[in-house]
Structure 1
């Protein structure tokens, strides 16, 4: 076991420690500049997907909004509450600035990877399947099948297994600490609910996300807004503090600007997942008229996750009197929890527990679907999917009732690092195709077409599933 831990530790150091963060930043900047700052130019269109009048996909299809909310539910998790607190503790207030910066850059990366996933999606029955593995096969060719299998394996091991164990542990721990409910009961509850949702397939998963995610996001953001409004006069000083710490003008922790930069980038990348190869699996399920429309929608998901939800946690902490720059001791979810208590009293710890429950639950069903989608790429066996579902339910239960069991999944972060590097390499190789899509979308907008439609005949040189792109007019769009 020690040898395995050392092996994966080396992989983690080589990915997250040396190459991955610079890759994500540099590639994100490259995508942003070459696409002429596409995430900002299409920013206004992103919010159209939230309107009910744009949700006219068939009742048996996944709408653009449902795909958005499922991905938001996956991106937004315990990390938005605990992870931001850790970043501020280790990197100071300046970490928040770099968290914002990487999110704005990551919006372009997410738009590119999700547009490609949409283009190369496949119609299977009345559902769509897609994602980085299928993008590699159909975009780069059979010679790269081995690379697609590496990606799919890493996705299953890290998200479906490892991260779901951690989510179960997070929920059970929070419920036990604030409500005194034994981990066993929480584990049984999570296992039953998760089982009901995932056995309903992607449609039930998407419908559940369409209900759970708005509730959890509004509930948490509303609490943060109350904190901000009651401390509105302090906001300018907090923003000045964030910026000055980000550039080393003031130092809140040891390491100054370097610590702020490292922690902000790491937290932002872990949280919004732009470029990691996870969200495109969900983006490909949506029934839309043009791949870029879902790319734009998923770009909004990054914005919601980091610029809105992570910022809420940051302001709750920085406006409170619990956080002391440079001090050791309180961090993670406890810092966020005690900061809320300092604002409004002890009842808020129960409110936060409810938020963590919803955040983690949405992440579990999202993580499961990533695993299922990767598995269906590797094998068409219905039994394999059935076994995966049983394993995920069991892992969530074990993670909840036996917190020490999560140490078994030490391979999760290193494998996610490999997943991200493979995904980024594929994105670079397929970037000309992505720019072709974006130019087509812009051309149609310029011609006065309010809702651009992909014409598969214009992409006959590519290995796309034309049955997934027959001309339709009554769909979810942006």
Structure 2
């Protein structure tokens, strides 16, 4: 087992090396240029589309799809807003320095263009499966957009996604919940496992409509709770805010606050953890986008784009700023021996004694649980592509079982393997995005033209 873990550690370091980070961010930069900075000019319109009530056609009939724009966004956000927003940001700040927060922002800005492109292709190339439901995502836009000769790459993405879902989606997340519950309430892991497995089973076995309904309730509530809690800490320690923001910007280009002062480390950890958190370019979110009821691929793509903004620019920023404020208030990280979620919890608690730590503990529990729900849909669609629609029920049962397993087992090997396969998903997806960028531009122009003519609102 140690040898296998060592193998996946090595592969993971290769997959998540500098070439991957350049490819991920480079794709976002390339699409930003070709789309003329669409994420800047259309963000207000996109946010409006995301949260406005669902509209049917003029004749009263509904658009093709399974769930609303909001439901698709919440399903995607349920998977992206997770432990990365709490533990991942802390890891980036500890290993890269305060400036890593700035590079997370940069990654998110360009990642919005990537997420937009994924959304366009997901809806354009989606299909209706044997159960009358929408199926879409990178495997479908690779096969249908690039042609049959690329089908091997579609299968590769779907296989990587299926395997990754059991780790990054279920067992790793349930393990985080069990640890948080044990730390905060003293409850044994197996008890948490039983409760979590039952609640997961009830939602997951109901399919995408059940998942979207649960996500639409959980995600807004947990995000608002965490953001308001973080803002309360920032306001309570407002005298530290200016220095914290200043340090984030200065350290981003000097690396002075990092051990060793390496600017490369600041950029590397900021970019890597930013991508890990918002999943732009990973190919996961477009699987949810494909299920949306929409009148044009671009409309849902704009909604999908807002997910990266909410995840990183809003939620991750709260964590990052509070951590840097804690660094300034004490002259070092609150507990230098800690990292990840434990450091975030300690910092929140130090800056707002009492309720501060609870904000992180409760947030982590719900963030991780929502990720379990979102990734179950991603993995299910990937498994159905590889093994056929008949494999759906088997996949759901196995997935629910790994939730229980995660609460009682050591997951070092699982984490290493999941991290590797999660990264491998991005490679075929990014290749497809670059090769199909012309389609993204064409659909964007078509949408703008129809809006200008009044054909679309």
State the TM-score, normalizing by the size of structure 1.
Answer: 0.89
- Which residue does the alignment assign to 1:153? 159
The equivalences for 1:251-290 within 5 A come to 251-290=257-296
Contact 1:253 1:326 in 2 (8 A): no
- Relative to 1, partners in 2 of residues 1:438 and 1:179: Cα closer, same or farther, differing over 3 Å? same
CA–CA distance in 2 between the matches of 1:56 and 1:335? 47
Following superposition, the deviation at residue 445 of structure 1 comes to 2.6
The equivalences for 1:79-94 within 5 A come to 79-94=84-99
Residues 180-234 of structure 1, C-alpha deviations (whole Å, 9 max, x = no match): 0111110001100000001101000000000000110010001011112223343
- Which residue does the alignment assign to 2:346? 338
- Which residue does the alignment assign to 2:397? 390
- Which residue does the alignment assign to 2:109? 104
- Which residue does the alignment assign to 1:469? none
Match of 1:239 among 239, 245, 268: 245
CA–CA distance in 2 between the matches of 1:410 and 1:361? 20
Secondary structure in structure 2 of the residue aligned to 1:188:
helix
CA–CA distance in 2 between the matches of 1:82 and 1:406? 16
State the TM-score, normalizing by the size of structure 2.
Answer: 0.93
Residues 287-320 of structure 1, C-alpha deviations (whole Å, 9 max, x = no match): 1111011111111000000000000111222223
Contact 1:92 1:325 in 2 (8 A): no
CA–CA distance in 1 between the matches of 2:429 and 2:374? 19
Match of 1:211 among 212, 217, 236: 217
- Which residue does the alignment assign to 2:298? 292
CA RMSD between the two structures: 2.0
- Relative to 1, partners in 2 of residues 1:36 and 1:393: Cα closer, same or farther, differing over 3 Å? same
CA–CA distance in 2 between the matches of 1:374 and 1:349? 37
CA–CA distance in 2 between the matches of 1:245 and 1:449? 49
Contact 2:245 2:321 in 1 (8 A): no
Secondary structure in structure 1 of the residue aligned to 2:16:
helix
Match of 1:170 among 176, 184, 206: 176
Following superposition, the deviation at residue 114 of structure 1 comes to 1.3
The equivalences for 1:20-419 within 5 A come to 20-54=20-54, 56=56, 58=62, 61-124=66-129, 125-248=131-254, 250-320=256-326, 321=329, 324=332, 328-382=336-390, 384-402=391-409, 404-419=410-425
Farther-moved stretch of structure 1 (170-179 vs 390-399): 390-399
Which stretches in structure 1 are left out of the alignment for 5+ residues? 452-478
- Relative to 1, partners in 2 of residues 1:89 and 1:405: Cα closer, same or farther, differing over 3 Å? closer
How many residues align structurally? Answer: 449
The equivalences for 1:393-472 within 5 A come to 393-402=400-409, 404-451=410-457
Residues 310-355 of structure 1, C-alpha deviations (whole Å, 9 max, x = no match): 0011122222346716984121111111111112223433342221
Following superposition, the deviation at residue 141 of structure 1 comes to 1.3
Secondary structure in structure 1 of the residue aligned to 2:128:
strand
Contact 1:121 1:131 in 2 (8 A): yes
Contact 1:398 1:405 in 2 (8 A): no
CA–CA distance in 2 between the matches of 1:339 and 1:323? 13
Following superposition, the deviation at residue 236 of structure 1 comes to 2.2
Contact 2:252 2:266 in 1 (8 A): yes
Contact 1:254 1:326 in 2 (8 A): no
Which stretches in structure 2 are left out of the alignment for 5+ residues? none
CA–CA distance in 1 between the matches of 2:222 and 2:330? 25
- Which residue does the alignment assign to 2:11? 11
